[in-house]
A and B are shown apart, each in its own frame.
Chain A
Amino acid sequence: MTDSWDRHARPLLGAISMAALPHLFRVPYWLTAVVIIFSAMLFAAIQYHWPVPSRALKWLIIFSGVAAVKMSLGHIVGRDPGMALFLMMAFLKILEIRTERDRIISLCMAYFLLAANLFFYQSLIMAIHMLLSVWVTTAVMIHVQDSRPKWVQHFKESGALILQALPVMVVLFFLFPRIQGSLWGLPQGTSGTTGFTDRLSLGDVSAIVQNNEVAFRATFEQQAPPSEERYWRGIVFWQFDGVSWEHGHFWPPRKEMAARDRPATYTITLEPSNARWMFSLDMPGAPPSGSRMDADYTLRAASPIVERISYQVTSYRRYRTPPAPPWEIRRGLQLPDGNPRTVALGRQWAAKLSTPAEIVSEAVSYITAGHFIYTLNPPPPSPDPVDQFLFETKKGYCEHFAAAFALLMRAAGVPARVVGGYLGGEANPYGNYLIIRQSDAHAWVEIHDGTQGWVRIDPTALVAPDRVMQSLAQAVPTDELPAYLVMEGYGLTGKALRALRLSWDAVNLNWYRWVASYSHQRQAALLSRVGITMTSWRGAALSGLAAVALTTLIIGLIAFRAHRQLTPGEDPAVKAYKTFLKKAARAGLPPKALHDGPTHYGRHIARRRPDLAEDITAITDSYVRYRYGKTPSPADLNTLRRKARQFNPE
């Protein structure tokens, strides 16, 4: 096409493709295909001089693209449709790079694509991609400014710029004052909720378990607790309508615990769930900042969790909750209409037995002796699912056992509630933390005992102790396990895969903890160590000043180093030649007189030392050529320097 096309189309295509790469995994498949085909066409046009996509085709792509976006995403405005359209435009723009302005706009689009990626992905691999992409785009930017076709040079310079800019980035990242709230509204998440919702039906947990996604990670300051103590409390279900359990309505904030012991402090990095539940090990002592704790010791975030958050909690593994107020007891005894046989059995125990402890042990022996089967594939629930489970199928997953146990307790007059959360977690040996997945989802029961307050009872442990002591993989038959659990279980490859996965997970968590989750709070904590309090404007200004000062210092250091190189020193050729003269004099050759020219002197001493004549001539000639020649070449300087260094008359 044109000169500009020949020179700039390929680099710009490279920069745009690089920046667009992560988007291709995210946008609808048809768009990925369109982008790949279109860039292949561009590449063929650039590389093999195939015909450039015509004007008509361009408009066809634009119109059909807008229509397709409308059809597949429902809108043409908004974040996702906007990004999809922008992605197409960025590639189409390559067809129009006539002026410098066009090329700069094209590069800005590459940077924009790059920035947009970061709103969707925050992982370490994304950071690596970002660095590489900035490297490529900056090299193309240099290429656009420099008329010489020096690719390697441009990549080198781009790399040098980035390396020098990294310290500036680090300083600004940690010191630039962060804000606490937000300047304008945050977007509402649109994707569905993962994990627990505030309603639990029989069969729900076994569905959650099929999902191998990480729910959260927990980093302990000391030793992580053993498997059987890793009950991660989430939601308390109070209200049972006969089919499903519900969290219920507003709950007043919690009261202090009567007694507590064996604290464990840990940091939870929670994946976005689109719900407000925050998980903690057993009974949390106090809500982390930005959340509240209900009377039933559940933690709730102020708004749905749409991005990864991190919080620190101290929990107590030995505790006594204060006696429950009457309304709590009332709610803990609420009975549904259905499931008559279960309710009748509970009432029968109540008539026969007097204390809650006796009732509990009666229930325990009932379940232990009842030939119940712990399975991931429970039969589909009927209208009275608890009756069906207890008296007919006798097959269930943890929520069946929990629901049945709680209902029995309530019918027998013991306040009970179902708790949803996670049990266990995989310890990552490469970083002292646990990975808790959706597949660790679990449900258990808390009953209210007059003296001890709310106490945990896990009926699943009665039929499948392995689930509690070890993990799901040990507790259910292999053919019921989700595929991901089977694959890693066997053989050396499985072990290697597991090690790889865990170490990568550890690197990522650290990346998240130190970089991706750095916040106003963390900044305040960091700066308070050097005496800057970030709560006031003065603190923010001080940290901003520190950022500017350090940046200036870095740039100043780089400038100073370069300036020293610039101060006119001795001509490198003269320097090398002087070295040669010194060596010659040391070897007993006559020193060069001031009026003596280098050529004459060279001939003179070459006659005295015929063995060195070749070197002397080479040095003299290259010196004369470089110093006095019409077109001094760097090759001469190099020869001169090398020969003078190697010259050894002794």
Chain B
Amino acid sequence: MDGFHHSESFAATPGKTSKVYIWLTRYGVLYFTVLIVMLLGSLNYKNNMGLLLTFLLVGIALISLFTTHRALAGLSFAHLSYAAAFAGDRMTVSLDAECMAAASPSFQFTINGSVGHGSLNADARETLSLSMPTDTRGEILLNRVRVETVYPLGLFRSWRTFYFDGAHGVVYPSPRRGPLPFGPGTAEGESGPSQSVPGGEDFNGHRLYQPGDPPRQIDWRVYSKGQGLFSKNFSTPTTSTVHLIWSLLPEGDPEYRLSVMCHAILKASMEQRRFGVRLPWAIMAPDAGPRHVHACLRQLALMGTAGSAS
């Protein structure tokens, strides 16, 4: 079901990030064990070259301890955003990362169990993203970003948590075809959904020019401003309003009913209708547009979860 995207952005909670913590990895433990053996051996055999090597490696480990710590010290995230997904799809979560002074090479960040990788040079900004699997509909907490790195030597792991209080993502039910629960008040019949007819009468916004678009549809005024080549979208307006009613869904598993309702909402939206949704736990007044679609789908997503009251 293409054609519907919703994304949302959250600002980092000001003044709330954890300190950078650091501890040995298991390879670090192995490394230091080897160093202790080398130290004792070299002392015993009075092997000064062995001692030099041991102390050099001790020095390298200590400096790397500090480097590992520093690799996260300069990192900050201004915003977290996500693109809403349907259950079973992958949800993309993005972070606006910035790195002050010290570089943050090769770190990984974990949001709600999903892992992404990033690398920032000193004084750089970048958008990092990770894709998160979604199994079931509902809300996914995105309020904590744990960042960790073992750079450079893998002997130490430093970690740090960034907070985005209240950030969460919404996973809609996966849409499924089924009998459409179009209730009374439908202007046209169920069977005759009006198509968005290209080349219709009413200007309906812009879209990127695609080869094959008729030249008269190109918005030359926009082009003359140097903003790029856009086609004007025309379509036949639909004035019909429908109501999607929960009780009209086929009886059965509530999850199945949610999926069918989801499909119906998307279909109504694609057909550019005004629609209202009547659910046992919420009534959405007829409206159109992506915000409305999101509000409706969100009600489906949150059914039976703590967030459903809101």
Least Cβ distance of A520 to chain B in Å? 8
Would you mind naming 17 contact pairs between A and B with Cβ atoms under 8 Å apart?
Answer: A104-B154, A118-B50, A130-B56, A138-B153, A146-B105, A146-B119, A148-B105, A162-B60, A165-B59, A165-B60, A168-B62, A183-B44, A515-B48, A517-B48, A551-B62, A568-B100, A634-B123
Q: Please, which residue of chain A has its CB at the minimum distance from the CB of B149?
A: A145
Report A-chain residues with C-beta under 8 Å of the C-beta of B48.
122, 173, 515-518
Determine, out of B2-10, B67-75, B179-187, B200-208, the stretch whose residues face the partner at the interface. Answer: B67-75
| In-complex Cβ contact of A146 among B40, B42, B106 (8 A) | B106
Query: A130, B53: Cβ atoms under 8 Å?
Result: yes
Given contacts A161-B64, A168-B55, 19 further A-B contacts (CB under 8 A): A111-B57, A118-B47, A121-B49, A126-B49, A127-B49, A127-B52, A134-B60, A138-B153, A142-B152, A146-B106, A147-B117, A148-B119, A157-B152, A161-B67, A165-B63, A176-B51, A183-B40, A516-B49, A572-B123
The answer to whether the Cβ of A68 comes within 8 Å of any Cβ in the partner chain is no
Report B-chain residues with C-beta under 8 Å of the C-beta of A142.
151-153
Report B-chain residues with C-beta under 8 Å of the C-beta of A558.
63, 66
* A603-650 residues at the B interface, CB under 8 angstroms: 631-632, 634, 637
Q: CA separation between A173 and B51, bound complex, in Å?
A: 7
The answer to whether the Cβ of B30 comes within 8 Å of any Cβ in the partner chain is yes
Report A-chain residues with C-beta under 8 Å of the C-beta of B49.
118, 121-122, 126-127, 130, 516
Determine, out of A229-237, A362-370, A425-433, A559-567, the stretch whose residues face the partner at the interface. Answer: A559-567
* A123-170 residues at the B interface, CB under 8 angstroms: 126-127, 130-131, 134, 138, 141-142, 144-148, 157, 161-162, 164-169
Instruction: Write the residues of chain A forming the contact surface with B, with a CB cutoff of 8 angstroms.
Output: 104, 108, 111-112, 114-115, 118-119, 121-122, 126-127, 130-131, 134, 138, 141-142, 144-148, 157, 161-162, 164-169, 172-173, 176, 178-179, 182-184, 186, 307, 515-519, 551, 555, 558-559, 562, 565-566, 568, 572, 631-632, 634, 637
| In-complex Cβ contact of A138 among B60, B100, B101 (8 A) | B60
Q: CA separation between A186 and B44, bound complex, in Å?
A: 8
Least Cβ distance of B9 to chain A in Å? 14
Q: Please, which residue of chain A has its CB at the minimum distance from the CB of B153?
A: A141
User: With A111-B34, A555-B63 in contact, do A145 and B121 touch (Cβ < 8 Å)?
Assistant: no
Report A-chain residues with C-beta under 8 Å of the C-beta of B106.
145-148
Report A-chain residues with C-beta under 8 Å of the C-beta of B46.
182, 307, 519
| In-complex Cβ contact of A166 among B51, B56, B73, B102 (8 A) | B56
Least Cβ distance of B36 to chain A in Å? 12
Which of A165, A518, A559, A637 is most buried by chain B, counting CB atoms within 10 A of its CB?
A165
Least Cβ distance of A599 to chain B in Å? 15
Q: CA separation between A108 and B47, bound complex, in Å?
A: 20
Query: A169, B56: Cβ atoms under 8 Å?
Result: yes
Report B-chain residues with C-beta under 8 Å of the C-beta of A517.
48
| In-complex Cβ contact of B53 among A118, A166, A179, A183 (8 A) | A118
State the majority secondary structure of interface residues on A. Answer: helix
User: With A134-B60, A558-B63 in contact, do A173 and B152 touch (Cβ < 8 Å)?
Assistant: no
Least Cβ distance of A7 to chain B in Å? 14
Query: A559, B52: Cβ atoms under 8 Å?
Result: no
| In-complex Cβ contact of B151 among A104, A111, A146 (8 A) | A146
Report B-chain residues with C-beta under 8 Å of the C-beta of A551.
59, 62
Least Cβ distance of A10 to chain B in Å? 19
| In-complex Cβ contact of A119 among B45, B58, B66 (8 A) | B45
Instruction: Write the residues of chain B forming the contact surface with A, with a CB cutoff of 8 angstroms.
Output: 27, 30-31, 34, 38, 40, 42-53, 55-60, 62-64, 66-67, 70, 73-74, 100-102, 105-106, 117, 119, 121, 123-125, 150-154
Least Cβ distance of B213 to chain A in Å? 26
Report B-chain residues with C-beta under 8 Å of the C-beta of A118.
42, 47, 49-50, 53
Report B-chain residues with C-beta under 8 Å of the C-beta of A141.
152-154
Q: CA separation between A362 and B85, bound complex, in Å?
A: 116
Report B-chain residues with C-beta under 8 Å of the C-beta of A114.
53
Report B-chain residues with C-beta under 8 Å of the C-beta of A157.
152
Q: Please, which residue of chain A has its CB at the minimum distance from the CB of B126?
A: A631
| In-complex Cβ contact of B125 among A112, A138, A144, A632 (8 A) | A632
Q: Which 9 A-B pairs have the closest CB atoms?
A: A165-B59, A168-B59, A118-B49, A172-B55, A169-B55, A146-B106, A565-B101, A165-B60, A183-B44
Report B-chain residues with C-beta under 8 Å of the C-beta of A307.
46
Least Cβ distance of A258 to chain B in Å? 38
Q: CA separation between A183 and B46, bound complex, in Å?
A: 10
Query: A173, B52: Cβ atoms under 8 Å?
Result: yes
Q: Please, which residue of chain B has its CB at the minimum distance from the CB of A626?
A: B125
Query: A145, B44: Cβ atoms under 8 Å?
Result: no
Least Cβ distance of B228 to chain A in Å? 15
Least Cβ distance of B261 to chain A in Å? 37
User: With A111-B34, A130-B49, A141-B154 in contact, do A166 and B43 touch (Cβ < 8 Å)?
Assistant: no
Q: CA separation between A165 and B152, bound complex, in Å?
A: 14
Q: CA separation between A166 and B60, bound complex, in Å?
A: 8
Q: CA separation between A164 and B60, bound complex, in Å?
A: 8
Q: Please, which residue of chain A has its CB at the minimum distance from the CB of B119?
A: A148
Q: CA separation between A551 and B63, bound complex, in Å?
A: 10
Query: A562, B51: Cβ atoms under 8 Å?
Result: no
Q: Please, which residue of chain B has its CB at the minimum distance from the CB of A104?
A: B27
| In-complex Cβ contact of A108 among B34, B63, B64, B151 (8 A) | B34
Q: CA separation between A515 and B51, bound complex, in Å?
A: 10
Query: B62, A162: Cβ atoms under 8 Å?
Result: no
User: With A108-B34, A145-B152, A515-B48 in contact, do A176 and B123 touch (Cβ < 8 Å)?
Assistant: no
Which of A118, A141, A565 is most buried by chain B, counting CB atoms within 10 A of its CB?
A118
Least Cβ distance of B289 to chain A in Å? 25
